[in-house]
Amino acid sequence: AGMALSVLVILLLSVLYEAVKMGKAVVLRRALRALPRNLSRESLVEPEETDTNPPQCRWFQYHVAQTLFHVVQVVLGYMVMLAVMSYNAWIFLGAIAGSTLGYFV
């Protein structure tokens, strides 16, 4: 029962790793869309008064979100790697199955 639970946890961690990786790509796409088309110094220093959330503020928020996604991705990646380094074939297969399932979803 303990081994089955361990394999299931590693499978879920691998799925979560793939989901975080995809979330990070989505945030990157939104951050690139939030950048102003005209990158002149005037447009970055003096935002329009009508815009309550200037482009550089939105870009910074996306950058912070992307940083948090990166930290979570690295932590999950190392946790899965440490589990695989136990040299247990079932754990390894759980990590592979979770990564496959997460990428598919």
pTM for the model stands at 0.75
Give the pLDDT of residue 99. 95
Give the pLDDT of residue 59. 79
pLDDT at residue 50 greater than cutoff 80: no
47 near 56, Cβ under 8 Å?
Answer: yes
pLDDT at residue 25 greater than cutoff 70: yes
Give the pLDDT of residue 4. 95
Give the pLDDT of residue 42. 54
Alpha helix (H) residue ranges in the chain: 2-34, 41-45, 55-84, 89-104
